[in-house]
Amino acid sequence: MRIPNSIVLALGKRLCQQGSIPEPKLELEPVYGGDINLSFIAHTSNTPLFIKLNRNKPSDFFAAEHDGLKAIQQLQAVRCPSPLLCTQIENWHCLVMEYIPLKEHGLHGKLGQKLAFFHQKSTHSLKPYGFDKDNYIGGTVQQNECLPRWGDFWIERRIQPQLHRAINKGYKALLTLKTPTINAIKTALSDHQPAPCLLHGDLWSGNKAFDQNGEPVIFDPACYIGDREADIAMTELFGGFNADFYSAYSRIWALDKGYVNRKNIYNLYHLLNHVNLFGEGYLTSTMECMESIMACKPA
């Protein structure tokens, strides 16, 4: 889609006014691959920038991503693109950030190491589970109102909202599994009070890459404070993270033995979200996950 020249000119002026670029001129080069936003490399008179534009999402959609990137950046443990500007021009929402040339492969062990440091470093100053505002997991609102007990947070802010949404969309097969699955999660998490960590929140392989030196970069966060195991569990859900990643993470901060029983509980959230976003192609794997949770015995 072609962006109106008036929007490009206005965005250039705002970036120039805040000092991100010396001149207001922008030349946009489309970047393909995402399914939510329009993305561009913006060529300027000094350094390229990365720009996302959308006019279909809520006004706080990019603000949530901006806040997540800021939160990750402040810990200085793992690199993410530096957010520069979040603004609205007419009916277009715009997020501008540092442009980092990326490649698919790099130092996977370094990624595991840096993610462990990121989780470890964030435990020193964080409050109960949640975040200061709601944000988005893909295109779905992610509820983040804080709760003091992790099991309550996971059920009330993660699993129940997704289940309600899916059932209301017509996936009635989930009704019979709903109550026994929630009861099994309550039992599994009843005594589990993990160290509150800042999480990326949507750490699948498409949200990590490597710079031109092979150093890891993470992006497109859905941040909140929670159990670090939820980040690790999602890395296993769709693949794309190799053995070097897991061994390096474990050398810094090994996972508790109960993780093997909890990872399905954490990945159920993402499977339900995929049902809600993409349809019944994910329904069978979601129901299988729920059945595994119900059948699981404590470690």
pLDDT value for 226:
97
* Domains of the chain, start order: 5-98 (3.30.200.20), 108-295 (3.90.1200.10)
Q: What is the mean pLDDT of the chain?
A: 94
Q: Are 207 and 200 in contact (CB under 8 A)?
A: yes
Which value, in Å, is the radius of gyration of the alpha carbons in the chain?
20
Catalytic residue among 202, 220, 227, 231: 202
Sequence-ordered list of residues with C-beta below 8 angstroms from that of 286, at least 6 positions apart, any chain: 174, 268, 271, 272, 274, 275
| Residue closest to 181 by CA, chosen among 28, 296, 31 | 296
**In this predicted structure, what is the pLDDT of residue 125?**
63
- If you search the block for the tokens 């350094």, which residue do you land on? 47
pLDDT digits (tens, 9 = 90+) for 77-119: 999 999 999 999 999 999 999 999 999 999 999 999 999 999 9
Residues with Cβ within 8 Å of 182's Cβ and at least 6 positions away in sequence, in order, are: 155, 159, 160, 163
The answer to whether the beta carbons of residues 241 and 105 sit under 8 Å apart is: no
* pLDDT per residue as tens digits for the range 202-219: 999 999 999 999 999 999
The pLDDT assigned to 259 comes to: 97
Q: What is the pTM of this model?
A: 0.95
Q: What is the average per-residue pLDDT within 287-298? A: 90
Residues 6+ apart with CB under 8 A from 293: 181, 184, 185, 188, 264, 265, 268
Q: Is residue 42 a contact partner of residue 83, using CB atoms and an 8 Å limit? A: no
Identify the sign of the CA torsion 83, 226, 148, 150: positive
Question: Is 202 an annotated catalytic residue?
Answer: yes
